Chains A and B, each alone.
Chain A
Amino acid sequence: MARTFTRNAWLWLLWFGLSALSTWALWLGMQLKEDAPPPPAGFLRTAFLPGQTSHGHHQIEMACSTCHGSEAFSAADVMQDACTQCHAAELKAADDSHPRSKFTDPRNAERAARLDAAHCVTCHVEHKPDITHAMGVTLPKDFCSICHDDIAEERPSHAGLGFDTCASSGCHNFHDNRALYEDFLTKHAGKPDLLETRTVPERDWKTVIEELYESYPIDRFPKQVLTQADAPAGKGSAQVHRDWLETGHAQAGVNCSGCHMVPPAKGEPPAWTDKPDHTVCSTCHKQEVKTFLEGKHGMRLAAGMTAMTPAQALIPMKSDAQQEGIGCATCHGAHRFDPVKAATAGCLACHADKHSKAFAASPHAALAKREAAGELPAGSGVTCATCHMPRLEHRTDDVRHMSVQHNQNDTLRPSEKMLRPVCMNCHSLQFSLDALADPALKDSNFKGKPSVHVSSIEWALKDAERAEAERRAARREGDE
């Protein structure tokens, strides 16, 4: 009896010891910021992932604390803060149709009890691949019915429509409806598939840098053309010097030292570095680097991890794609920083999905070739960047200008986000809605015409007619 007790005691002790060790290793694993912490913490962190992470966050899934915080794991407010840290600004810019304040208002308490949309994770639960569908939504697809089940009373045209079609038909989005609201639809009705003028806006950064008082260090780099490189002897080939001399940096007064002399640590004097990183580029290109860090290419860097590599992508990549971490120079190439090369070749060096592989034979690529050959005016060509990293108006307190959105996801999902800043530069709203709703046409990189038709414009026009008839009747009554 005594012997049994002793053995059990030892087993209990062993169990406690192993449990304590695992807990410690797990805790340590969560605390470490690195994406590949040393074993056993790293192993345990991977083992404890509750399920495959979605397209939106898989790159940073090993930096648990980025979303979960470091203290109260999975506390609602901690996670909400993490969501808003990265997504609040874009929701604000999108005139979010369902802002948090709608659900914190006590008059909606009864609704909020059914759908707590004041917290992002109510609709977007991570690590749940079996129930995750478009936009990382994990609610059943007919979730709109929770609050809008009486929509047919307000919009008789909607009677009998399935609530799973609200967001999948090309008609509505939960957050961003900037190109889908009724007055916008009627305003842009009846235009030809191809508009008369078809160009995208020009970048104008060069012309406004002197006005960008806060974001451009004009004192450090006064605008003057440089002809003499200041790199130490032996640094840079003749080609490197030529690339620099013939392009923007030499012409804007940025010498070798401007980028290569960097303090190794905060407070230390600058020292030569062969490969300056994105933080150096952001000295002048703040907006570009900021948006790069917001997108899939830069989000690992933003989370304090090593840079994204093509091998880490979940979508098809070329097998011979470079396996170094992605930085500014990956697409732009150091010293020449050729924007034309970056806009297509930079993407196709890695991306190998159907849409990317079909680009070369697409009508858009043909336009880009004709623009490059001088046959079409500037801004007529369509590259990968034209749609996925478009030129957008950027406003600061100082100035308003067009800059390249480097968050490739900004116009990607939901695809209707592409309508205004991209498609409608050249195409009608109807054609664009139809094209974006046609998966086969996306695969062929828009070679051909849409085989899908989105009816929202016709419905909006019909509703506008109804309203006009009501207005006329009201005026008649007023006159009588």
Chain B
Amino acid sequence: MKVIPVLALGSAVAFSASTASAQDATASWSYKDIADALHLIMESDRTVYTRLIVNRLQNEDKVIKASEHWKDDKALVLPAQMFRYGSEMVAEKGAAFTYSLLSEWPINKQNAAKTDVEKAGLAEVGKTGKPYYKEETLGGKKYFTAVYPDKAIAKACVSCHNDHKDTPRRDFKMGDVMGGVVLRLPMK
């Protein structure tokens, strides 16, 4: 039941829906509420994909592998890639909000923290395991930025990151905070 207002709200924020009911809905939700709602969907979808598709088919049933080079290897898309492709599609559709998966130990160095809020946020969620919220100005525009801890929820996360050629850290364990989801909402 909770999913419906959350989805309606997400759409209202993302695409500036102009109906009166949608406006009413946004008026009663804070930036933090909206960010939490969007993140809840992202986190749940990725967990479903990681557990029910990747972990089941790759690790338990061993019928297909997941690979960074999924197209060449005719394999499943990695959970982190599934998340990133979704984020790129959201950006291509011209949504106002953006999100990305960053880490203090990124395999792709372009996914290291860049802004001050990203740096402080990743350090904080690593320590507390709880979300971090802050306003920041980028390119002359003001954003509400939320950083959510990204934990190792499946063996595949840990083994892939510990073994990857370009990883800067090889001692991740299940349940560790491996990075963070950074979500930005433009502020009025």
Contacts and interface: CB of A to CB of B under 8 A. Distances in A.
Contacts of A196: none
Interface stretch (B22-30, B41-49, B161-169): B161-169
Contact of A107 (B72, B100, B109, B163): B100
A184 interface: yes
Contacts of A110: 138-139
How would you classify the secondary structure of chain A's contact residues: helix, strand, loop or mixed?
Answer: helix
Interface centre among B109, B141, B143, B182 (most CB of A within 10 A): B109
Interface string B146-188: 0000000000000000110110001100000000001010000
Interface centre among A106, A107, A109, A464 (most CB of B within 10 A): A107
Nearest to A470: B170
A99 B114 CA distance: 19
Interface centre among A108, A113, A181 (most CB of B within 10 A): A108
Interface string B82-103: 0000011001100000101000
B91 A105 contact: yes
Given A99-B88, A100-B92, A107 B165 contact: no
B139 A464 contact: no
Contacts of A184: 69, 72
B33 interface: no
Contacts of B166: 467
Interface residues of A, number: 26
How would you classify the secondary structure of chain B's contact residues: helix, strand, loop or mixed?
Answer: mixed
B69 A101 contact: no
A220 B100 CA distance: 50
Given A183-B69, A467-B165, A471-B163, A477 B100 contact: no
Contacts of A154: 109
B141 A474 contact: no
Given A182-B165, A463-B165, A467-B165, A106 B88 contact: no
Nearest to B186: A106
B115 interface: yes
A426 interface: no
A104 interface: yes
Interface in A96-154: 99-101, 104-110, 112-113, 154
Interface string A144-175: 00000000001000000000000000000000
Given A106-B184, A107-B100, A471-B170, 5 more contacts: A100-B92, A104-B91, A109-B138, A474-B170, A474-B171
20 contacts: A100-B91, A101-B88, A104-B91, A105-B91, A105-B100, A106-B98, A106-B139, A107-B98, A107-B182, A112-B139, A113-B139, A181-B69, A182-B165, A184-B69, A184-B72, A467-B165, A470-B170, A474-B162, A474-B170, A477-B171
Interface of B: 68-69, 71-72, 87-88, 91-92, 98, 100, 109, 114-115, 118, 138-141, 143, 162-163, 165-166, 170-171, 182, 184
The list of the 8 closest CB pairs from A to B, nearest first, reads A109-B139, A101-B91, A474-B170, A467-B165, A106-B138, A109-B138, A101-B88, A154-B109
Interface of A: 95, 99-101, 104-110, 112-113, 154, 181-184, 463-464, 467, 470-471, 474, 477-478
